[in-house]
Structure 1
Amino acid sequence: MRGDLVKLRNIGAKSAAKLADIGVTSSSQLAEMGAVEAYRRLRSQRDVNIAMLWALQGALLDLPWYDLPPDIKQALLDELAEQPSAPDAQF
């Protein structure tokens, strides 16, 4: 159910629908998958850019995406670069 996701900061109906397309339908599933892996799976979709990664991490931290500190953004970029794409898994 997307209702749980849209209660998170930074996650609106469109983002929740995109997350549902990759099998993430709850905040606990997003937390389990993590922002980087969710972004990795989402970025093949139309209209997904790096701001989605910031939004996902902000949702997990209950911060507006634009308030993520630079060190957190850099850590996310580093993880994105280091971690090879994982095979699709069901969450």
Structure 2
Amino acid sequence: MFICNKCKKIFPDLDGYGMRIQYTFGYGSKRDGDLFDLTVCNECADAVADAIVNVCAISPIASVDYDVLYGEDFAQPDDDISDEGHIFS
């Protein structure tokens, strides 16, 4: 179970429902030793990401080209389905 830090909605688990960022502040920080534990639901994730991007000189948002990463057939329906030669069933 988790509670969104932004909207306070309760969710059964994080899988498929949101994003989590954890960071322990180090020596010399005004928050020395404190844990930053942010958990937000999918509905709030864009607003939180936008707020973080707005304070960054270099955007932490990266676009991923899944076709380059996994090939052009990534997430495409199989049009050559047969019972022969499949590694996974």
Q: Do they superpose with TM above 0.5?
A: no
TM-score range, shorter chain: under 0.3
Q: Please state which structure has a larger fraction of its residues in strand.
A: 2
Q: Larger relative CO (CA 8 A, sep 6+): 1 or 2?
A: 1
